[in-house]
Amino acid sequence: MSPENPNAKLIYMANQIATFFQSQPAEVAAQGVATHINKYWEPRMRRKLFEHIDHGGEGLNPLVLEAAPKIRRPEAA
């Protein structure tokens, strides 16, 4: 995990989730990622994820980006 990027850990966690759902049937994969993040990620974490996605989402697994519209976007802090 690169310490330079403050979002590195979050990206890593999101990608881990995506890696699991990638192996699941394609039709449920993106929804699986979104549901998981909605259920278990505190708004601060989701907010940071969206900040990163809004800045291009570099380093994120494409499945996370595919799931993004289904992830609940928290209100700005």
Partner 1 sequence: MSLIHEIDYGTPASKSEKLVTLTIDGREITVPEGTSIMRAAMEAGVEVPKLCASDMMEAFGSCRLCLVEIEGRAGMPASCTTPVAAGISVSTQTQRLKDVRRGVMELYISDHPLDCLTCAANGDCELQDMAGAVGLRDVRYGYDGANHVKARNNGEINRQWAPKDESNPYFTFDPAKCIVCSRCVRACEEVQGTFALTISGRGFDSKVSAGMNEDFVSSECVSCGACVQACPTATLTEKSVIEIGQPEHSVVTTCAYCGVGCSFKAEMRGEELVRMVPWKDGQANRGHSCVKGRFAYGYSSHKDRILNPMVREKITDPWREVTWEEAFAHVASEFRRIQYQYGRDSVGGITSSRCTNEETYLVQKLVRAGFGNNNVDTCARVCHSPTGYGLNQTFGTSAGTQNFDSVEHTDVAIIIGANPTDGHPVFASRLKKRLREGAKLIVIDPRRIDLVRSAHVEASYHLPIKPGTNVAILTSLAHVIVTEGLANEAFIRERCDWSEYEDWAAFVAEPYHSPEATEAYTGVPAELVRGAARLYATGGNGAIYYGLGVTEHSQGSTTVMAIANLAMVTGNIGRPGVGVNPLRGQNNVQGSCDMGSFPHELPGYRHISDDATREIFEKLWGVTLSNEPGLRIPNMLDAAVDGTFKALYIQGEDILQSDPDTKHVAAGLAAMECVVVQDLFLNETANYAHVFLPGSTFLEKDGTFTNAERRINRVRRVMRPKNGYADWEVTQTLAQAMGLDWNYGHPSEIMDEIAATTPSFAMVSYDYLDKMGSVQWPCNEKAPLGSPIMHVDGFVRGKGKFIRTEYVATDEKTGPRFPLLLTTGRILSHYNVGAQTRRTDNVVWHPEDRLEIHPHDAEQRGIRDGDWIRLASRSGETTLRSLITDRVAPGVVYTTFHHPTTQANVITTDFSDWATNCPEYKVTAVQVSPSNGPSDWQVDYDEQARQSRRIAGKLEAAE
Q: Which residues bind partner 1 (CB under 8 A)?
A: 1, 6, 9, 13, 16-17, 19-20, 22-25, 36, 38-45, 74
Could you tell me the smallest distance in angstroms from the CB atom of residue 56 to partner 1?
A: 21
39 vs 55 by CB, closer to partner 1: 39
List helix spans (H) across 1-77.
Answer: 8-22, 26-40, 43-54, 62-67
Could you tell me the smallest distance in angstroms from the CB atom of residue 4 to partner 1?
A: 15
Could you tell me the smallest distance in angstroms from the CB atom of residue 53 to partner 1?
A: 18
CA dihedral (68, 70, 71, 74) positive or negative? positive
Supply angle C-alpha 28, 29, 33, rounded to 5: 115
